[in-house]
Amino acid sequence: MSQIENQPLLQPYHKGALQLSNRLVMAPMTRSRTNNPENVPTELNAEYYAQRASAGLIISEGTPVSPQGVGYINIPGIYSAAQVEGWKLVTQAVHAKGGKIYAQLWHVGRMSHPDFHNGALPVAPSAVNPNDQAFTEEGFKPTVTPRALETAEIKGIVADFKKAAQNAVEAGFDGVEIHSSNGYLFHQFFSRCSNQRTDEYGGTIENRARFFFEVLDAVKEVLDLSRVGVRLNPSMHEQFGITVDEETAPTFEYIIKRLNDYHLAYLHLTEASPKVAELPYAIKEIAKHFRPLYHGTLIINGGFTQETGNKVVEDGLADLVAFGRPFIANPDLVERFAENAELNAPDYNTFYSNTGEVGYTDYPTLSEVALAK
């Protein structure tokens, strides 16, 4: 597979507002490099994303829509004027290299800690402790039992997402992705294990999905939905307090079928982990299961390689493939795939560390390696 024309991943993708030079997506990845009191993106962040601008599409790291949505140290927000100005550095740098970038809008819900909220409890659908770890200034700390949101408060979070989408447009992003995945706030509403509400946001599948669709309806008032993506993880199990049960598959089938009415930029799904292999009611092959149910652009994510990524596109199970760790260590991942070149190995010790450029912007490209010889 040495020729570009023989690799589906390296072919352009044109559908609606997505006009992409190839089908490699840089997955959203927390890197904890925004080390300043206001969580404002910096020139270092801009350099990092610009290095990877040859990706067909970059999805930014999760960026909280409000102070209440924060649950990790040194992550850039998108709720203040200063943060919007900081993100302009990033989007301008990516666009100068011919790239496209979406902002991932995030609220972690109960996956936070009082340390982030002046001692106040994190919020969630219900007062259920995920019994996991929160990454604070003092290292990892056990999560706490969160405070259940009052019904009236949920409208305020909907407004936060709407404002964040508006901020993303002002910052120059090409679109946004709603982070409704991986055990964070939306996922907490979807799941029976974390949502024990008795109001209109709990109980039935429709009620547990209500908040999510209210956010989409609000966001479309400030941004055409052809520039809005959604991320879901239908078979996430025993992570961040989320467990798969008999209603999990029907819940995500309901959500994804209903998304056909929204004409989004894309649906971004994560493949199932081995943890669900023995669960009879869990979906084991996510792309294969949901491809027939969703009629728009589908991104698949989850441990893909050059070979398996090309195959999933060739087989028609996805349109685009999101790569995470390979993009961390290989800013020129697209070029390396085109040349079937060896990949740099990622340094796991610097994924979330406050090490500045080390393990962030110092991975060599093929051209840099050639020059050094």
pLDDT digits (tens, 9 = 90+) for 29-64: 999 999 999 999 999 999 999 999 999 999 999 999
Helices 43-51/81-96 angle, 10° precision: 30
DSSP 8-state code for residue 71: -
How would CATH label the architecture of 8-372?
Alpha-Beta Barrel (3.20)
pTM over 0.85: yes
Q: Residue 210: enclosing H or E segment and its boundaries? A: helix 210-219
Integer Cα distance of 44 and 362 in angstroms: 11
Residue labelled with tokens 């999933």: 312
Rounded to whole angstroms, what are the CA distances from 41 to 47, 59, 76, 92, 284?
11, 15, 6, 13, 38
DSSP 8-state code for residue 265: S
Tell me the helix, strand and coil percentages in the chain, rounded to 5.
35, 15, 50
List the domain boundaries for the chain. 8-372
Phi, psi angles (nearest 5°) of residue 287: -60, -45
What mean pLDDT do residues 294-310 have?
97
Taking a C-beta distance cutoff of 8 angstroms, is the pair 24, 9 a contact? Answer: yes
pLDDT digits (tens, 9 = 90+) for 19-28: 999 999 999 9
Strands 133-136 and 175-179, bridge-based pairing: unpaired
- pLDDT over threshold 90, residue 350: yes
What mean pLDDT do residues 127-135 have?
96
The reported pLDDT for the residue numbered 1 is 43
Report the catalytic residues. 184
Strands 320-323 and 298-301, bridge-based pairing: parallel
Q: How many other C-beta atoms can be found within 10 angstroms of the C-beta atom of residue 319?
A: 22
What mean pLDDT do residues 162-173 have?
98
The reported pLDDT for the residue numbered 11 is 98
Taking a C-beta distance cutoff of 8 angstroms, is the pair 64, 17 a contact? Answer: no
Enumerate residues 6+ apart whose C-beta is below 8 A from 77. Answer: 39, 63, 64, 65, 66, 67, 70, 83
The reported pLDDT for the residue numbered 373 is 67
Token pair for residue 97?
């290299």
